[in-house]
Chain A
Amino acid sequence: MVDVKRIQEGNYDLLTVVGDVDASSSIELDNAIEEAIESGGKKFLIDCSNLDYISSAGLGVLEEFRKRDITMIIYGLNEKVANVFEILGLDQLLVIKQTKEEAKAALG
């Protein structure tokens, strides 16, 4: 089960991901980001501080959006979730920051 909340803050959209993103729930994350892009969003912060678990299905969703014409910064990964990104080397491909402040600064 995953919940994705979206708040427009200034010139970016903040997406807060809460719960587990697995093969069953990754479609929810996919739909939420897709809707945010369709409504004109170009800059996104993804708050993962309440993301408890992610499997390859969720990583695939984030990776796919990286290739779109948007800016996406991820922040707040807990140690276990960050470890999954590192095992795959996705921490080198995606822009990942520790805090919201760092993420906002990276957004420009």
Chain B
Amino acid sequence: MKYSYKVPCTKEKLRDIRSFVKEVLDKHGISEVDVSTLVLAIDEVCANVIIHGHSCNPKDSIELEIKIDKSQNLEFDIIDTVDLFDIATYQEPKIEDVIKQQKKGGIGLILVKRIMDDIEIIRLPKKNICRLTKKIELT
């Protein structure tokens, strides 16, 4: 199954993005706690792209694609035209160091890395994709 959602780059749209992700995941019988952490990871990446990539410009937009196969392999693509921060190679610092250095953004990236199985940045000629993958154990 494949789902897609496109929104203008404003922080106010983060709530709609979370509702979309939750709605999709709820259809696939994923546990409430797993849904909540996955929603959080997507929210963090989208917030990062909207704020730092687009300076919250409502004329720009980002696209989110969710693919779910029968084995509950989840694939989330955040598709954008600006150069995405390479979270895949981001070396996770100690949480205490992030806090000490007051790097608030760092906390979000730590969350994404801890929640997802894999993070990949795919650079194409006209767009960049931040692909987050997660395998959910079937109960």
**B-binding residues in A (CB < 8 A):** 1, 20, 22-24, 53, 55-57, 59-60, 63-64, 79-80, 83-84, 87-90, 93
Contact = CB atoms under 8 A, between A and B. Distances in A.
Chain B at the A interface: SS class:
helix
Nearest to A83: B33
B77 interface: no
A60 B114 contact: no
A60 B111 CA distance: 12
Contacts of B95: 88-90, 93
B115 A55 contact: no
Chain A at the B interface: SS class:
helix
B102 A84 contact: no
B111 A24 contact: no
A35 to B, nearest CB: 20
A64 B102 contact: yes
B55 interface: no
A8 B21 CA distance: 39
A22 B47 contact: yes
A87 B104 contact: no
A49 to B, nearest CB: 17
Contact of B107 (A24, A79, A88): A88
Contacts of B15: 1, 20, 22, 24
A84 B14 contact: no
Given A23-B47, A83-B36, A87-B114, A59 B107 contact: yes
Interface stretch (B37-45, B78-86, B128-136): B37-45
B120 interface: no
